[in-house]
């Protein structure tokens, strides 16, 4: 209807949260012309869309296939379960901590060393945009000298996926990246099959369930997905966590004093400012949700940013509060949480524990390097983005430790 906010209109991105409130209250189910989809915004409905198998991800295919090939995100049912079973063990607790903690620490240290004595840093451009990509490249056991090249590929994949205006140059660069990544990865995958090492790529090559293995092309597509799914999200989570703490100095001081609060700050950041705001589903039967029925085969847009601030689920939801007692935080060995930033159910983020570990390690080291961190003089951090969202820039100042 005409009075309802348009989730793609210019003004929406400036303040999606007030639009979400209107949608949750007045139109928990509505048809949106721009995305040709049914939009849902209440916690209960979005959680159901993630949990119930009737909601598939089949409609991702047209979007993701051209740049990645076929990834687990596009698969449903048994095919998804098998493929996910092949990759998921490498991202679980013990393994992650033993093998990859040093990789995460080394990459955080290298980036922080780049500005440690400068007394200032633009956190997005100098830290958070690089950190997760460098970690993935090193976990895969690829050449660390190629960090910059992967950063370029990652940037063009993200631009391709967010190319709403259908800029032909952006589209072309994305397709070229698919070719370049394949030309780079396929020979390396072939070598790892012959001579596996102790890295993530070798594990993916060897993984087997009931005689099923991934093809070289499947593995290359998964690497491409890791860059997109693990890069932009973690980038935005790191910078949003700092933006949120800087906006709440008492909570920043508490976290600085007691680093065991970092997992709470992370979970509350993901609730309050999730990196992924919208994801799509396609029900393969008619399904009833609050406000009506979604017809089989149609596209559903799930508003994570709206669901995470549903007052039916969280008390005083518009307040950032790491001490809230109605948010389940994660344990050391799992990233399970009840906010919806990692989705739920079958497609629950494979990298959630990795992201959590990266952010805990990174935040600790950043707080140590910047004992009196503050926003740079005159800085006014704004969030940008509609499908994914986070601080565009975060210029910080600090007194370098003596």
Q: Which residues contact 207 (CB under 8 A, 6 or more apart)?
A: 86, 87, 89, 90, 213, 214
CA proximity to 384, closest of 394, 396, 371: 394
Please state, in angstroms and rounded to a whole number, the distance separating the CA atoms of residues 325 and 303. 23
Q: Which C-beta is closer to ligand HEM: that of 358 or that of 398? A: 358
Which residues, numbered 303-342, are part of the site for ligand HEM (CB under 6 A)? 341-342
Residue 263 lies near ligand HEM (rule: CB under 6 A): no
Which residues, numbered 162-221, are part of the site for ligand HEM (CB under 6 A)? none
Binding mask 46-65 for ligand HEM (x = CB under 6 A): -----------x--------
Please state, in angstroms and rounded to a whole number, the distance separating the CA atoms of residues 131 and 111. 7
Stretch that binds ligand HEM, among 29-37, 233-241, 322-330, 376-384 (CB under 6 A): 233-241
Stretch that binds ligand HEM, among 192-200, 229-237, 326-334, 374-382 (CB under 6 A): 229-237
Stretch that binds ligand HEM, among 305-313, 320-328, 344-352, 374-382 (CB under 6 A): 344-352
Tell me which of 49, 103, 104, 136 binds ligand HEM, using CB under 6 A: 136
Which single residue is written with the structure tokens 């950190």?
Answer: 131
CA proximity to 338, closest of 307, 378, 376: 307
Residue 221 buriedness (CB in 10 A; 0-12 / 13-18 / 19+): buried
Please state, in angstroms and rounded to a whole number, the distance separating the CA atoms of residues 29 and 211. 44
Residue 255 lies near ligand HEM (rule: CB under 6 A): no
Tell me which of 276, 287, 322, 369 binds ligand HEM, using CB under 6 A: 276
Angle at 260 between CA 257 and CA 262, to 5 degrees: 90
In the complex, what is the shortest distance from the CB of residue 195 to ligand HEM, in angstroms, rounded to a whole number? 24
Interface ranges with ligand HEM (CB under 6 A): 57, 72-73, 84, 132, 136, 225-226, 229-230, 233-234, 237, 275-276, 279, 341-343, 347, 349-351, 354-355
């Amino acid at each position: 209807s005409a009075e309802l906010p348009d989730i793609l209109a210019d003004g929406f991105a400036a303040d999606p949260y007030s639009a979400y409130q209107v949608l949750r209250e007045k139109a928990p189910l509505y048809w949106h012309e721009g995305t040709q989809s049914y939009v849902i915004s209440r916690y209960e409905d979005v959680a159901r869309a993630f949990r119930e198998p009737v909601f598939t991800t089949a409609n991702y295919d047209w979007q993701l296939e051209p740049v990645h090939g076929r990834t687990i995100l596009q698969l449903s049912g048994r095919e998804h379960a098998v493929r996910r079973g092949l990759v998921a063990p490498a991202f679980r607790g013990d393994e992650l901590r033993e093998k990859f903690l040093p990789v995460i620490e080394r990459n955080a240290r290298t980036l922080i060393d780049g500005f440690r004595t400068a007394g200032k840093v633009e956190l997005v451009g100098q830290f958070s945009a690089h950190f997760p990509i460098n970690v993935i490249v090193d976990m895969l056991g690829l050449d660390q000298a190629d960090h910059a090249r992967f950063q370029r590929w990652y940037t063009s994949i993200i631009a391709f996926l967010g190319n709403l205006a259908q800029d032909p140059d952006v589209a072309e660069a994305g397709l070229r990246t698919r070719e370049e990544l394949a030309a780079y990865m396929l020979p390396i995958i072939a070598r790892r099959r012959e001579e596996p090492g102790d890295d993530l790529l070798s594990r993916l090559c060897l993984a087997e369930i009931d005689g099923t293995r991934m093809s070289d092309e499947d593995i290359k597509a998964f690497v491409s997905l890791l860059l997109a799914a693990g890069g932009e999200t973690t980038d935005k989570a790191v910078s949003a966590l700092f933006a949120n703490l800087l906006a709440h100095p008492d909570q920043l001081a508490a976290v600085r004093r007691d680093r065991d609060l970092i997992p709470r700050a992370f979970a509350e950041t993901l609730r309050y400012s999730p990196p992924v705001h919208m994801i799509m589903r396609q029900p393969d039967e008619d399904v009833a949700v609050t406000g009506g029925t979604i017809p089989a085969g149609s596209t559903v847009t799930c508003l994570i940013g709206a669901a995470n601030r549903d007052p039916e689920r969280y008390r005083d939801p518009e307040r950032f509060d790491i001490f809230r007692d109605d948010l389940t935080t994660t344990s050391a060995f799992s990233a399970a949480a009840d906010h919806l930033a990692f989705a739920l159910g079958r497609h629950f983020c494979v990298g959630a524990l990795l992201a959590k570990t990266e952010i805990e390690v990174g935040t600790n080291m950043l707080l140590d390097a910047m004992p009196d961190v503050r926003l740079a003089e005159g800085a006014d951090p704004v969030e940008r983005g509609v499908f994914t969202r986070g601080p565009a820039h975060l210029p910080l100042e600090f007194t370098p430790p003596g």
